[in-house]
Chain A
Amino acid sequence: MLVYWMRSRQKIKTIEIGDGWWGSGERPLKGKEDESIRPFKIETSDKEIEDLHQRLEQAHYAPHLEGAAFHYGFNSSYLQKVVAYWRNQFDWRKQVEVLNKYAHFQTTIEGIDIHFIHVKPSYVPHGRAVQPLLMVHGWPGSFYEFYKIIPLLTEPARHSLNEGDVVFEVICPSIPGYGFSEAPHQKGFDAIATARVFHKLMNRLGFKEYYLQGGDWGSRITTNMAQMLPQSVKGLHLNLVFISRQGLRRMISVMLGAYVPWLVGLTREDVQRMYPFIQKNIYELLRESGYLHIQATKPDTAGCGLNDSPVGLAAYILEKFSTWTDKSFLHKDDGGLESRYLALTHCALRVSLPPSLSHSALDTRPEERVKFYFQVIHSDLEQEFDR
C-alpha cells in the first residue's frame, strides 16, 4: 500500500488533449487538413479608411457628468479628443507597414485559419542554440502588444541586455476569434481548445520543446498548455496568475496574512499589494469586472454595437488601457492615456477589417473575442453547478 501511495503521488496529472473542429458546418470526413503555412500580409484599402472616417465623423457623444473624470467609465470629452486625433493625425497605412515589419503567416488547424508572426533572430552567435518562445496575448490586446519586446528577446545584445546563453525565436499567434485568426464557428472554443491548437501550431513549425509566455488570457492558455503536454514545455513565464481554486486554507492565509505574513508565506511586497484585502480584491475587483460578467454571459449583445461603432469600441478598449495600467488613473480626466497612442493602433486594427467574403474569412469581430470569455467562464460555471 505504501508503494502504491508513493507511486500515485509521483504521477503528474495532465489535461486530456482531446480534439476539435471549429470550421463552418460539418467536419469533412475525408481528406486530410491542409497543413501548409502560408505567408500573410496585413492590407488596407481606401474604402476601408473612408468607411472608418465616416463613422468617426458621425459619432454621437453623451455629455459626461460634472466632475466624473473616469469614474463612470470613459470620459466622453476626452474621447472626442482621441477621435479627433484618430480622424486627423493617425495614419493607418503607416501603421500597417509597421505591423508588416515582422513576418506573418496563416495555417489551418482544426478547421480554422490561425494567424501568427514568427520572428527569428537575425544573428545567432556561433554554437548558440535558439530557444523557441510562444507568446500569447489576451483581451483586449493582440499580437501587436509584443512588438516592442520582440527585439529585446531576439536580439538582446543589441539592446544592451545581458544575453547569457539565451536568444529566442518568437512566435506570437492570434487567439482564434482575435485579430487575424479566424473565429470558431462552433460553440465550446475555450482556453483548453486554444492550448491544443497552439501545441499543434508549434508542432507544425517543427518544435518539440519550447518556452511559453503569457498574460491575461495568454496566462490561462499557456498554463493549460503546460498542463496538457508538460513534456513539450521547457518553461512557463507568466505576468498574470489565475487562481481558481480557493480553499479554506487560502481564506485563512488571507485573514492572517495582514498581521503575520511570514506565517502564511507572504512577503512584504505581497502584503503591500494585496491589502486591504476587501478593498483591493473584492471591492475593486467587483468595480472592474462588469465587462467580464457581461462578456461571459451575453457576448453577442455586448459586442454588437462595438463592431458597428468604432468610437464605442475605442471607449470600451481604451478604458481598460487606462484602469489596468494604473487604478489611480480613474481620477484623471484623460484616464492617464495621454501617453498611450499605441492603444489607437489596437483599435484601428479591430475596426478596419471589412466583413470578409472570402473563404479564408478574417472574422475579427470584437464579439468573437468576447465569446471567448463566455466559453471559458461558462464551462467553469457549468462545472460548479453540475456538481
Chain B
Amino acid sequence: MLLEVFLVLGTVIVYFLLSKKKEETLPFKDGWWGKGQKPDTEEDTTIWPFKVETTEEELSDLFRRLDQARFTEPLENSFFHYGTNSAYLRKVVSYWKNQFNWKKQVEVLNKYPQFKTKIQGIDIHFVHVKPPHLPEGQSAKPLLMVHGWPGSFYEFYKIIPLLTDPASHGLSDEHIFEVICPSIPGYGFSEAPHKKGFNSVSAASIFYELMLKLGFNEFYAQGGDWGWLICTNLAQIAPNHMKGLHLNLASVTNMGFIHLVSILLGRYLPGLFGFQDEDVRRMFPFLKKGLYRILLESGYAHIQATKPDTVGCGLNDSPVGLAAYILEKFSTWTNLEFHNLEDGGLERKFNLDDLLTNIMIYWVSGCIVSSMRFYKENLQKGIGTQKHERLTVQVPTGIASFPNEVMHTPQAWAQKKYTNIVSFHFMPQGGHFAALEEPELLAEDILQFVGKVEKEQLWRKKGD
C-alpha cells in the first residue's frame, strides 16, 4: 500500500517537475543557414574586425538612380494619409543628392568597433563597444541590444555612449555597460539566411551563441520591434544566462477571452482588469486606437508576411522607393498624428542624416528583401500560433512604455507573459524608435531597471 502511494506520489512529482520545465524553457534552435549543403568540416570560430566601406562606383550608381527617379504627384491635400507624400519625398531626395555625405556617414558608422563571425553557417555582424574607462573595482555589464525593422544597429548609436560612459552624460555611473549590437541575419551587414524557416527563435539562438562566443556567461538584453521578440525568445531559451530583459515594446500575441472582455469593459471598470488611468487614456476608444489603427498601419506586415520577395524587389532597385517605404514608418510610428502633416513630421524628432544613414544601410547591403522575409518566417501561420508565444518569461523584466507606440500594452496584460516584471514605466514622450528618438529617456530607464535587478540580485531568485 505504502509502495503504491509512493509510486503515485513520485510519478506525480516527477510529472510536475518535468512539465514545469517543459513549460518554462524554449529549446535552443540549431540550424544551418549557409548556401547548399552543410560541410563536414568544423565551423570557423574566428571573430574578425569589420569596417563599413564604400566605393566611387557605389556612389555614382546611387546618384544616377536618384537623378532618374520618377515621382507621382500626390493627391491635393492628402498630407501623409496615402503614405509617404511625394512632394516631401522630392525634398528628401534633393538633400540626399546634394547635401548628404555618405563617405562621412561611413566614418560615423565606423567610429564604433565592428566585427563579424560565422555562426550556424552565416556571417553575423555586430558592433561591440567597451567602456572608455571603468572606475576602480567595477566591471562592465554586457548588454545585448537588438534592433528591428526598418531599423538597424545604427539606431543605437546615440544611446551607446550613455550606457558605456554614463558619467560623461550626466547619468549615474553605478552601472556601466559594454554594449553588443548585432545585425539580425538578413539585415544590414549580417549575411542573409539561404534556407527557409529562419524565425525569431533562430535569431535568438544565434545571438545566444554569439554572447557565449564572446565569453559572456551572464548578460542583459534590450530590444524593441523584432528585438523585443528575439530578446524575449532568448530569455526563454537561456533564462539562466540572462540577468535581465528590458523592452520598449511588449506586445501580447496570445489574446484570449479575458483580453476581449477587458477591451469591452475596461473603459468602464478599469480597476477590475488592472488598468491604470494612463492605460485607459492610451487604449480607448478601442476601435479607434486599437483595431482601426492596427488595420490602417499593418498593410506592410501583411504583404511582407506573405509575399516578401515581391514587395521587396522594387525597393532593392529604387533607392527612392526604398526611402519612401522606410520613411513612412519613421513618421507614423513616431507619432500617429504626423500623418496629418505635409512633411510627415520627420524632421521634428530626427535629422535627415540619421534617417538616410539607416536607409543607406539597407541600400548598400541590398538587404530589404531578406529583412522582409523575417515577417513571413514569423507570421505566416498567423499571430499567436507559435509555441514560444504560449510560454512565459521568468527573467526579471523591465518595460518602458512609450506613449506614441502604435498599440499600447497595459501592464495587466504584459505580466501574464512576463511573470517577473520589475519595472514598468509610462514614458512621458516618444514612439516606436525609442533608442534613436529618446536615447536619454530610454537609457535612464535601462539604468534604473538594472539598478533594481543588481541591488536585489534578482536574477538569482528566479528558478526557486
Residue of B nearest to A305 (CB): B321
Would you give the shortest CB distance from A26 to chain B, in whole angstroms?
Answer: 10
A66 with B328, Cβ < 8 A, contacts A297-B297, A385-B292 known: no
Q: Beta-carbon contacts of B286-308 to A below 8 Å, as 1s and 0s?
A: 01100010011111101111111
Q: Beta-carbon contacts of B181-193 to A below 8 Å, as 1s and 0s?
A: 0000000000011
A72 with B376, Cβ < 8 A, contacts A288-B306, A302-B83 known: yes
Q: Is B325 an interface residue (CB 8 A)?
A: yes
Complex interface: chain A residues within 8 A of B378 (CB)? none
Q: Is A300 an interface residue (CB 8 A)?
A: yes
Q: In the assembly, what is the distance between CA of A302 and CA of B310, in Å?
A: 11
Quick check: B314 and A311 within 8 Å, CB to CB? yes
Quick check: B369 and A290 within 8 Å, CB to CB? no
Q: Is B55 an interface residue (CB 8 A)?
A: no
Quick check: A299 and B83 within 8 Å, CB to CB? yes
Would you give the shortest CB distance from A56 to chain B, in whole angstroms?
Answer: 10
Residue of B nearest to A364 (CB): B72
State which size class the interface on B falls in: 35 or more
Residue of B nearest to A317 (CB): B310
Q: Which of B295, B299, B325 contacts A305 (CB 8 A)?
A: B325
Complex interface: chain A residues within 8 A of B5 (CB)? none
Q: Is A316 an interface residue (CB 8 A)?
A: yes
Quick check: A62 and B376 within 8 Å, CB to CB? no
Complex interface: chain A residues within 8 A of B64 (CB)? 58
Quick check: B194 and A293 within 8 Å, CB to CB? no
Quick check: B287 and A315 within 8 Å, CB to CB? no
Complex interface: chain B residues within 8 A of A183 (CB)? 72
A312 with B315, Cβ < 8 A, contacts A65-B194, A381-B292 known: yes
Q: Is B68 an interface residue (CB 8 A)?
A: yes
Q: Is B174 an interface residue (CB 8 A)?
A: no
Quick check: A306 and B316 within 8 Å, CB to CB? no
> B331-368: which have CB < 8 Å to A?
366, 368
Complex interface: chain B residues within 8 A of A355 (CB)? 70-71
Quick check: A300 and B306 within 8 Å, CB to CB? no
Of B84-92, B131-139, B274-282, the one with at least 4 CB within 8 A of chain A = B84-92
Q: In the assembly, what is the distance between CA of A301 and CA of B351, in Å?
A: 21
A59 with B317, Cβ < 8 A, contacts A305-B324, A307-B72 known: yes
Q: Is B311 an interface residue (CB 8 A)?
A: yes
Q: In the assembly, what is the distance between CA of A67 and CA of B299, in Å?
A: 27
Of A150-158, A263-271, A337-345, A365-373, the one with at least 4 CB within 8 A of chain B = A365-373
Of B18-26, B73-81, B112-120, B421-429, the one with at least 4 CB within 8 A of chain A = B73-81
Complex interface: chain A residues within 8 A of B311 (CB)? 73, 290, 294, 302, 316
Q: Is A76 an interface residue (CB 8 A)?
A: yes
> A273-332: which have CB < 8 Å to B?
286-291, 293-309, 311-313, 315-316, 319
Q: Is B82 an interface residue (CB 8 A)?
A: yes
Q: Is B318 an interface residue (CB 8 A)?
A: yes
Q: Is A260 an interface residue (CB 8 A)?
A: no
Quick check: A73 and B310 within 8 Å, CB to CB? yes
Q: Which of A185, A187, A301 contacts B324 (CB 8 A)?
A: A301
A297 with B295, Cβ < 8 A, contacts A51-B68, A64-B309 known: yes
A305 with B318, Cβ < 8 A, contacts A289-B302, A298-B82, A319-B310 known: yes
Q: Is A141 an interface residue (CB 8 A)?
A: no
Residue of A nearest to B36 (CB): A66
Q: Is B196 an interface residue (CB 8 A)?
A: yes
Quick check: B320 and A291 within 8 Å, CB to CB? no
Q: In the assembly, what is the distance between CA of A299 and CA of B85, in Å?
A: 10
Q: Is B373 an interface residue (CB 8 A)?
A: yes
Q: In the assembly, what is the distance between CA of A319 and CA of B71, in Å?
A: 24
Quick check: A300 and B84 within 8 Å, CB to CB? yes
Q: In the assembly, what is the distance between CA of A51 and CA of B67, in Å?
A: 12
Q: Which of B72, B195, B297, B366 contacts A60 (CB 8 A)?
A: B366
Q: Which of A76, A287, A290 contacts B299 (CB 8 A)?
A: A290
Quick check: A306 and B366 within 8 Å, CB to CB? no
A290 with B82, Cβ < 8 A, contacts A65-B194, A79-B313 known: no
Complex interface: chain B residues within 8 A of A100 (CB)? none
Complex interface: chain A residues within 8 A of B295 (CB)? 297, 381
Q: In the assembly, what is the distance between CA of A25 and CA of B73, in Å?
A: 13
Would you give the shortest CB distance from B322 to chain A, in whole angstroms?
Answer: 6
Q: Which of B61, B73, B83, B195 contacts A65 (CB 8 A)?
A: B195
Q: Is A374 an interface residue (CB 8 A)?
A: yes
Complex interface: chain A residues within 8 A of B309 (CB)? 62, 64, 68, 72-76, 315
Q: Is A184 an interface residue (CB 8 A)?
A: yes
Q: Which of B75, B310, B318, B366 contacts A185 (CB 8 A)?
A: B75
Q: Is B370 an interface residue (CB 8 A)?
A: yes
Most buried by A among B65, B310, B320, B322: B310
A312 with B313, Cβ < 8 A, contacts A66-B195, A300-B74 known: yes
Residue of A nearest to B304 (CB): A290
A295 with B299, Cβ < 8 A, contacts A62-B312, A73-B311, A305-B315 known: yes
Quick check: B314 and A363 within 8 Å, CB to CB? no
Q: Which of A61, A298, A303 contacts B300 (CB 8 A)?
A: A298
Complex interface: chain A residues within 8 A of B376 (CB)? 72
Q: In the assembly, what is the distance between CA of A24 and CA of B75, in Å?
A: 9
Complex interface: chain A residues within 8 A of B322 (CB)? 305
Q: In the assembly, what is the distance between CA of A8 and CA of B416, in Å?
A: 56
Q: Is B69 an interface residue (CB 8 A)?
A: yes
Quick check: A309 and B321 within 8 Å, CB to CB? yes
Q: Beta-carbon contacts of A182-224 to B below 8 Å, as 1s and 0s?
A: 0111110000000000000000000000000000000000000
Quick check: A365 and B305 within 8 Å, CB to CB? no
Most buried by B among A58, A61, A72, A286: A72
Q: In the assembly, what is the distance between CA of A385 and CA of B325, in Å?
A: 27
Quick check: B302 and A294 within 8 Å, CB to CB? yes
Would you give the shortest CB distance from A199 to chain B, in whole angstroms?
Answer: 24
Q: Beta-carbon contacts of A162-200 to B below 8 Å, as 1s and 0s?
A: 000000000000000000000111110000000000000
Q: In the assembly, what is the distance between CA of A55 and CA of B317, in Å?
A: 9
Q: Beta-carbon contacts of A369-387 to B below 8 Å, as 1s and 0s?
A: 0010010000001000100
Q: In the assembly, what is the distance between CA of A298 and CA of B322, in Å?
A: 14
Complex interface: chain B residues within 8 A of A68 (CB)? 196, 309
Quick check: A304 and B321 within 8 Å, CB to CB? yes
Residue of A nearest to B367 (CB): A62
Complex interface: chain A residues within 8 A of B84 (CB)? 298, 300-301, 304
Q: In the assembly, what is the distance between CA of A312 and CA of B368, in Å?
A: 13
Complex interface: chain A residues within 8 A of B370 (CB)? 62
> B358-395: which have CB < 8 Å to A?
366, 368-370, 373, 376
13 contacts between A and B (CB under 8 A): A62-B370, A68-B309, A73-B312, A185-B75, A290-B299, A300-B82, A300-B85, A301-B84, A301-B328, A305-B322, A309-B313, A309-B321, A381-B292
Q: Which 7 A-B pairs have the closest CB atoms?
A: A312-B314, A305-B321, A290-B303, A301-B83, A73-B310, A294-B299, A73-B309
Q: Which residues of B contact A (CB under 8 A)?
A: 35-36, 61, 64-65, 68-78, 81-86, 89, 192-196, 287-288, 292, 295-300, 302-318, 320-322, 324-325, 328, 366, 368-370, 373, 376
Q: Which residues of A contact B (CB under 8 A)?
A: 24-25, 51, 54-55, 58-68, 72-76, 79, 183-187, 286-291, 293-309, 311-313, 315-316, 319, 355, 363, 365, 367-368, 371, 374, 381, 385
18 other A-B residue contacts (CB within 8 Å) besides A62-B192, A66-B36, A368-B72: A51-B68, A62-B312, A62-B313, A65-B373, A73-B308, A186-B75, A187-B78, A290-B299, A293-B299, A294-B303, A302-B83, A302-B299, A305-B314, A308-B314, A312-B313, A319-B310, A363-B72, A365-B72
